[in-house]
Amino acid sequence: MSMEKKELWIDKGYVTIPVWAGASLEKLEIFCGEDDGRAEKVFEFRVPSGPPESGAEKSFDAYLPVEPYIGRKLTFSGNFSDLFFLGIQNTAEKPAKDSGAEDAKRPSLHFAAGTGWTNDPNGLVYHNGVYHMYFQYNPFDVNWENMCWGHAVSTDLLHWEELDAVMFPDENGTMFSGSGIVNERECLGLQKDALVFFYTAAAGCNDWTEDKAFTQRTAVSTDGGQTLVKLDRGVVPPVGEESRDPKVFWHEESRAYVMVLWLYEDVFGIFRSEDLAAWQESDRVKLEKGWECPDLFSLADEEGRKRWMFLTADGYYYLGEFDGYRFRQTAERRCAYMNKAPYAAQTYSNVKDRRLLVAWLRLSFAGENYAGAMSLPRELSLTGAGEDARLCLKPAGELAAWFGQQGAGKPGKGDGQCCGERDGAVYMSVGCDDAEGQYCWDVCGNELSYDAANGVFAVNGESITIPAGIGDFAFFLDGPILEVSADHDTLFGAFEIKSGK
């Protein structure tokens, strides 16, 4: 194939990009202007080059929002076939994304993008009755690449509507993970109701930015989170080769915004700002086995004492003390995850009186036109007190309400089972009264088992090792996803299984 191009005069809101998932990748550059010589580059993606073999069926169309370019010409350039360029069209509408209610192979309560690759939840913020969930997203394949921010919203934490992606790779880098807040203190010259987002511009992940470094940047929304505008203010310059994943919150006691940031290996940085424009580093924290996607928040233990917790991507958490400047770990490292499927969890901002968490579920959904999903939202608390306190990740109360009274209970040891089912989603809670017993459960054709003496838990023959002697489990089956809670919600795992619908 030789270099080709296609020109489109844009008069509608989307451009279709044909996707043959899994084909070899080529660079697609998109310019805006009269000709390539004077035109401005507005997008650069690495997309599947076209049919891997003659007659191969297209997987899906990706819909690129181009409303800002209506009335202008876009030129698409790259080493692609005529068939690929033929599929690039300007269209007014995109089809509704598949939903679990319509497709028995998809989850109905867990968010999964209609098509494409999904990973880390980003910018989780509650605003005007809406839970916003942005996420790492590749619209153009079912593999990691082209990190953008996708966007979904919910009013009940269970049913999600996927909206247009809001941020795309630019001259500063691809859009890595970050967080969001409501601008309650009217920083950056913006109204109090604006939403402010913090993200990593990951330079070097495409040819466009190969000579630049990672930076932490700011974007804002003044329309309730529908569109995000990137700012040149509030930039945190490079503090490590690939420092990333800023999580920002207001620390009332020291009257400043705090940003926690992964720097390198198991080292994290803490930065402070009073105005979201200028940031100063106040601490570096080394956390054994800690790795990227940090979160820092406080919870009350069972004695009512406020405890700070540093959470990292693999589910490791570290209890300690935080004064707005420095974090000091005071208890041993623990892990909240049963297996490697949950990852890169983040908690919501601007939610009053509870701490809600969503994790990425690293599930492949082989053969489908989407990969990855989000966990059910979980409400965090501490069980126990002092240095022995442990993190509980109880599914949000909305889930119990969804299943109704029959699914709201949870047995202790020897109490048998509680079950609930609604719209194809299944809930089962079981007690294990013998600390050395062997247990087996059939959940919609999926075989689950637990050897209490040896701590071996298995799903359809896939075994993992968890603590022995656990007395309770809860199973949430939703299409191809099984979530498991155990040991009074202090352990959490996820598995890809046979559909329960």
User: Catalytic amino acids?
Assistant: 120
Structure tokens at 385: 């007190």
Neighbouring C-beta atoms of residue 123, cutoff 10 Å: 29
| CB burial of residue 441 (10 Å; 0-12, 13-18, 19+) | middle
Instruction: Name the burial class of residue 78, with classes exposed (0-12), middle (13-18) and buried (19+) by CB atoms within 10 angstroms of its CB.
Output: buried
Give the H/E segment covering residue 397. Answer: helix 397-403
Instruction: Reduce the secondary structure of 266-314 to three states and give it as a string.
Output: CEEEEEEECCCCCCEEEEEEECCCCCCCCEEEEEECCCCCEEEEEECCC
Q: State which amino acid sits at residue 164.
A: D
Give which of 459, 465, 456 is closest to 498, Cα–Cα.
Answer: 459
Closest CA to 357 of 415, 396, 389, 398: 396
Burial class (CB within 10 angstroms; exposed 0-12, middle 13-18, buried 19+) of 369: middle
What does the longest C-alpha to C-alpha distance in the chain come to?
75
d(CA 187, CA 165): 25
